[in-house]
Amino acid sequence: MHVSGFFDPLPRVLVADDFDRGMSGWLDLRPNFVAPGFREHSDDIDLIHWGPTMLSSATFAFGGTHGSAQGTYSLKISSRAAAAAADLPPAPGSMGLAIKRLAVPPGLRRLRIEALFAYKAEQDRPGLGVDDVRAFGMFVDLQDAEHRYMPGVRYVNAIAGEPVRAWQFYSPTADTDDEWSYGADGWHKAGIDPQWFGRRKADGSTSATTWFDGGGQHLIYNESDDKLNWTPLSLTLDLRTRRYEEFRVGGRTLRFPDGAHPTLAPAYNDIEGLLNPVFFVEADTDRRVSLFLDSVVISADAGEAA
């Protein structure tokens, strides 16, 4: 694809996904169906009913087809019409998540994930649905020889219908493995899958999130549920130190505290070297919400990896 000026990739572009050319390897994030009868490997929370991912032309009842930032199609990640209170585990179907599964090539030092995004509540009723979108975000599932870790950012848009409009990042949790997965058997290690695990609070924080200092931001939802403004997002990570380097969104650069990093969990079996970016959206009410992406560019530069 032609990488537009919205993107500022590092020298080595690993993938540049323009969704006018198909799903490009993005699909629904689902659990491991390895239990008897092809059941999911654990049932601590319902992970099998999230909303499906699709290629969208962003077509609406009154505005017609919005199209994408470049072309017609974008990747649309959708929740179902469900939500639990912010201090409870996510309700079945209250999120939508799309993942792409890659592996780290040799010699990488830094990794950058960039996208143009827009977020919307379904235009299924009159009025403005902005405060029916609880949150959206992205993270990368990474594992090296020692640790599995999931650096990422989350925009908490609204809680219980009240605007929050602030960014947080995934940070180390003090939860035990059992606390992390809401008292279940602890198959999951604390810090892994922070998008749905980790004790939650009513303000939208979790046991593995830290609010950015000065991280309040009024993103462009626009004034109607059928108007999209493609907004750039860029997260840069240092793979040698497993630390955050930089987060840009819209016209702003948000600063991480010195040395900030996500939970460094023990390595899991058979996934060393994985590089799995994930984008997600969360509903705040019983209304479908969507995150649109066009395009996604993953780039890197060289150096001695950790």
Partner 1 sequence: MKTFYTSVIELRQEFDDAIETHPYECGWADEALFFVEVHDAEPGETVSLRVQLSPDGIRWLDEGTEIRTGSSAFARVTRFGGFLRLAGNAIAADGGPARVTVSVRLALKG
Interface ranges with partner 1 (CB under 8 A): 21-23, 28, 30, 48-49, 51-57, 59-61, 72-73, 76, 78, 80, 122-124, 288
Q: Least Å distance between CB 259 and partner 1?
A: 41
Q: Least Å distance between CB 80 and partner 1?
A: 7
Q: Which is nearer to partner 1, 59 or 176 (CB)?
A: 59
Per-residue tokens: 161: 């219908």
Q: Which is nearer to partner 1, 51 or 152 (CB)?
A: 51
Q: Least Å distance between CB 2 and partner 1?
A: 19
Q: Least Å distance between CB 288 and partner 1?
A: 8
Side-chain half-sphere CA neighbours of 188 within 13 A: 26
Q: Least Å distance between CB 71 and partner 1?
A: 11
Rg of the Cα atoms in the chain: 18
Burial class (CB in 10 A: 0-12, 13-18, 19+), 87: middle
Q: Least Å distance between CB 30 and partner 1?
A: 7
Q: Which is nearer to partner 1, 67 or 172 (CB)?
A: 67
Distance of CA 53 to the CA centre of its chain: 13
Q: Which is nearer to partner 1, 81 or 260 (CB)?
A: 81
Q: Which is nearer to partner 1, 72 or 224 (CB)?
A: 72
Dihedral sign (CA 275, 140, 285, 119): negative
Beta bridge partners of 169: 153, 210
Side-chain half-sphere CA neighbours of 42 within 13 A: 11
Q: Which is nearer to partner 1, 66 or 147 (CB)?
A: 66
Q: Least Å distance between CB 306 and partner 1?
A: 36
Q: Which is nearer to partner 1, 46 or 179 (CB)?
A: 46
